[in-house]
Amino acid sequence: MKGLYQMNIKEIPFSYFGSYMSISYSDELGFTLKSLRGKSKKNMDVLRIIPTVNNMPVDYEFEANYFSILIKFNNGSISICFEGDSKIVFYGKGKNVGLKLDTLPIYNFEYNYLMGKKGSEYCVINSYKNLTKFLVFSVNGKVGLSQNIFIDDCASTNKANNTSIIDVKSNSDNEFICVIEDIPTHMKVPDYKEYNFETSLNSTKKLFDEYYLAQPKVDEKYKNSLLKASYINWSSFVKPQGYLKRYTILASNSTFLGAWSWDHCFNALALAGVNDKLAFDQMAVLFDYQDEYGQIPGSLSDSTIRWNFTKPPIQGLFFSKMMKKINFTKETLEKIYNYIEKQVLFYVKFKDSNMDGIFEYHHGNDSGQDNSTIFKGAMVVDTPDLTAFIINAMDMLSKVAEKLNRNSEKEYWSNKADELTKLFLNYFIVDDLPVARETVTGEILSNNALLPLVSLVLGNRLPKYIRDKMIDLVTSERYLTKWGIATEAIDSDEYQDDAYWRGPIWAPTTLLFVEALEECGENELAIDIAKRYCELVDKNGFAENFNAITGEGLRDKSFTWTASTFIYLAAKVYEYNSQRINNIK
């Protein structure tokens, strides 16, 4: 199994396009089946996968690639792959080889069911701890259930020291096929068809290869990372169920089980020009729940909608970028226009409480940079990036209005963007640099955070002397390291190597600055930072964020916007290098 598709399953979960199931490995629990449903976030583990011989656990070695897992032990093996997006197939070989599936019950009402006719029993797992259900059956083996359940007269959320283990044993031919199937609602019954492991394996490989081969071209040195990034995104799609009306990329299928309302933009941009329907769906999935006031949820999953935060309104800016790669139909442009117009009007009405025309973040989470030092005072804050994003959105509305032959609306939004730019310059620019202010008092917030400099996304709307000073600062040794742009100046007393938005390098800020530098005509600088990011993830993987000084991957090691940003920037670097070669010729 070694080779091109080999993966580190300790860092990247094993999953399948559209599935709400994954398998991971940890030194503590070994292999575990996890639920990817939003309601399962606090306790993702459904069960432990324990290979047995003569019904006793055995030591084993394993190999994993993007399509299958091979568990090897003395005199036997168990292979695992997906059969479509709702079933996982286990193929065991060897004398008296079997499986124990420890369902890890937590609560005193949490137990499972042995069902079916004698000789063809199957189990239903009712995983109370993560609010999911699964079907377990064997086509040619035996399924049993051993439980030690304590049920008292207290509430079902009381914890208890219970056990519930499903045993799967091989048949007389010393092999078995076991299937675990997701039950999305109430119940299913076993599908005792003929399961062919190799057929399932080849089908999975074909589906992934089709996705991977559609990705943009990158330099040869980055092809292995492109493969890994493609798998992370492909395996993080979940299918339309519950609240999700479209195929949706999770922020992460390790820890962040939903689409967050700025993560989705980076995933959409990476898909633009690759799979335009999926690209638009990544944007639209949050707008499916845009409320009457124009707000979109802060995050969305199949089973959760969160309204208490909004995330930065970068959607207008990203639709503008996507329009360079996708020729949207008139009908789709009208949808986009309506989405962003309502969103802008939401900010006008609800995010300007003192009605000074400047937009405010009520909480750090609303900015996306949750714990940036800008927000250390726990107050409502005016930061330049937010108003800049609204100006970007107004510019997008003007462009789309022109495409739709709505000339009066084109002029209206163009004038609004001009007026807001003047207000931005008067309010935020001090000594030729943007500052953040406390909303209530207007007092300047002294800090070394990167966040105010994100307003460089205004590009040529900023006077050149201001642009130049901002660029000089963000590309100085205070922020720009060997690996990229730190989120807190590294000479700041508040800088920390691993403190979320108080130092580490992140994918979204990297992409925003690369694009902003291009808008300012600084193409060489933009490519330089894009190359640093590509080198960073090529060396250290697709972590949630990275130590700005050492480049070490931090937190979640399989994050989709990290992968999507790499795909987008690596393609940009490839185009730049190709153009240079052509110019030399």
Q: Which two tokens stand for residue 280?
A: 């638009």
| CA dist., res. 400 & res. 337, Å (int) | 7
> Which amino acid belongs to residue 51?
P
The confidence score (pLDDT) of residue 313 equals: 99
CB-CB contact of 163 with 148 (8 Å): yes
Evaluate whether residue 16 is within a structural domain. no
Q: What is the pLDDT of residues 252-287, one digit of tens each?
A: 999 999 999 999 999 999 999 999 999 999 999 999
Q: What is the pLDDT of residues 456-505, one digit of tens each?
A: 999 999 999 999 999 999 999 999 999 999 999 999 999 999 999 999 99
**Comparison of pLDDT for 154 and 368, the residue scoring more:** 368
Is the same domain home to 171 and 223?
no
Evaluate whether residue 374 is within a structural domain. yes
Domain end (from 206, 225, 253): 206
Evaluate whether residue 91 is within a structural domain. yes
CB-CB contact of 488 with 545 (8 Å): no
Is the same domain home to 157 and 270?
no
* DSSP state, residue 196: -
Is the same domain home to 94 and 230?
no
Domain end (from 156, 173, 206): 206
Is the same domain home to 110 and 134?
yes
* CATH classification at residue 457: 1.50.10.10
Evaluate whether residue 131 is within a structural domain. yes
Is the same domain home to 199 and 219?
no
**Per mean pLDDT, which of 103-117, 546-560, 569-583 is the most reliable?**
546-560
Q: Residue 155: which pLDDT band, with cuts at 50, 70 and 90? A: low
pTM: 0.97
| CA dist., res. 177 & res. 198, Å (int) | 12
Is the same domain home to 122 and 44?
yes
The confidence score (pLDDT) of residue 109 equals: 82
DSSP-derived 3-state class of residue 285: helix
Evaluate whether residue 391 is within a structural domain. yes
Owner of token pair 């009712």: 126
Q: Residue 152: which pLDDT band, with cuts at 50, 70 and 90? A: confident
Residue 570 has pLDDT above 60, yes or no: yes
CA angle 155, 158, 159 (to 5 degrees): 155
Is the same domain home to 399 and 539?
yes
Is the same domain home to 149 and 126?
yes
Evaluate whether residue 8 is within a structural domain. no
Is the same domain home to 406 and 446?
yes
Q: What is the pLDDT of residues 373-411, one digit of tens each?
A: 999 999 999 999 999 999 999 999 999 999 999 999 999
| Helices vs strands, H then E, count in the chain | 12, 26
The confidence score (pLDDT) of residue 156 equals: 67
Q: Residue 308: which pLDDT band, with cuts at 50, 70 and 90? A: very high
Q: How many domains does the chain have?
A: 2
- Residue 274 has a CB neighbour count (10 Å cut-off) of 17
Average pLDDT, the chain: 97
Is the same domain home to 151 and 59?
yes
Is the same domain home to 367 and 384?
yes
The confidence score (pLDDT) of residue 4 equals: 84
Residue 328 has pLDDT above 70, yes or no: yes
* DSSP state, residue 249: E
Q: Residue 414: which pLDDT band, with cuts at 50, 70 and 90? A: very high
The confidence score (pLDDT) of residue 582 equals: 81
Evaluate whether residue 7 is within a structural domain. no
Is the same domain home to 291 and 189?
no
The confidence score (pLDDT) of residue 1 equals: 46
Domain end (from 189, 206, 223): 206
For residue 468, the enclosing domain spans: 214-577
Q: Which two tokens stand for residue 390?
A: 């609204």
The confidence score (pLDDT) of residue 580 equals: 86
Q: What is the pLDDT of residues 417-454, one digit of tens each?
A: 999 999 999 999 999 999 999 999 999 999 999 999 99
Evaluate whether residue 32 is within a structural domain. yes
Q: Between helices 315-322 and 384-403, what is the axis angle to 10°?
A: 40
Q: Residue 2: which pLDDT band, with cuts at 50, 70 and 90? A: low
Residue 67 has pLDDT above 60, yes or no: yes
Question: Mean pLDDT across the stretch 338-362?
Answer: 98
Residue 95 has pLDDT above 50, yes or no: yes
Share of the chain above pLDDT 90, in %: 94
